Amino acid sequence: MIKEKIENIKKSQFNISKILNLVVPILFTILALNLMTTKSNKLFEVIGFRSYTVLSGSMEPEFYPGDMIITKHKNKTDIEVNDIVTYRDNDGMIITHRIIKKTSDGYITKGDNNNTEDTNIVTLENIIGEVKFSIPKFGYLINFLSKPLIITIEMFLLACFILFYYRN
């Protein structure tokens, strides 16, 4: 009876270890790639994708505040009317809206939840990329995990995991 309980405990520890061996490296890889692509335009161009967190309700019901959107680099996709694009406006703010018209000067955009078109024409140079998909509310988590103090804690936990993993 006691021997069976000990075996069950060993099996459960083994299962937890297997899960951690899979989850921890994947999590840190995702966080590292996200951090690198948000800081490096060159890496974004090479990898082709970058994540952003939706901050306003201008694109509801397509995206809600806190959703994480994945944008594909403009050089790796064709931008057309009705595409949802992420771009820099004339003030340098990053905005994600839908293209509703193409003109000789550029594109006219509008948030799905807005009553009027955006005032500025968006040129191809200002477009960062096309939104390919979103993950609801995941942006809040990524923003939290990307704070400098949290990154320091993550690195400490990663070091502990490595030391624990290779202690034998």
Which one has a higher pLDDT value, 105 or 30?
Answer: 105
- Give the residue, 43 or 140, on which the prediction is more confident: 140
**Residue 138 contacts residue 67 (beta carbons within 8 Å):** yes
Domain boundaries, the chain: 1-39+141-168, 50-136
Distance between CA atoms of residues 138 and 20, nearest Å = 21
Collapse the DSSP code of 122 into the 3-class scheme (helix H, G, I; strand E, B; otherwise coil) and give the result.
Answer: strand
Answer yes or no: CATH 3.30.540.10 is held by domain 50-136: no
Task: Match 């993993």 to its residue by tokens.
Answer: 165
pLDDT digits (tens, 9 = 90+) for 32-70: 766 666 666 676 677 778 888 899 989 999 999 999 999
Q: Say if residue 1's pLDDT is above 80.
A: no
Q: Where are the beta strands (DSSP E) in the chain?
A: 49-53, 68-73, 84-88, 94-102, 107-110, 127-135
pLDDT greater than 60 at residue 6? no
Per-residue pLDDT, 100: 94
pLDDT-derived band at 14 (thresholds 50, 70, 90) equals low
d(Cα 3, Cα 71) in Å, to the nearest integer? 54
Taking the C-alpha atoms of residue 37 and residue 77, their distance in angstroms, rounded to an integer, is 17
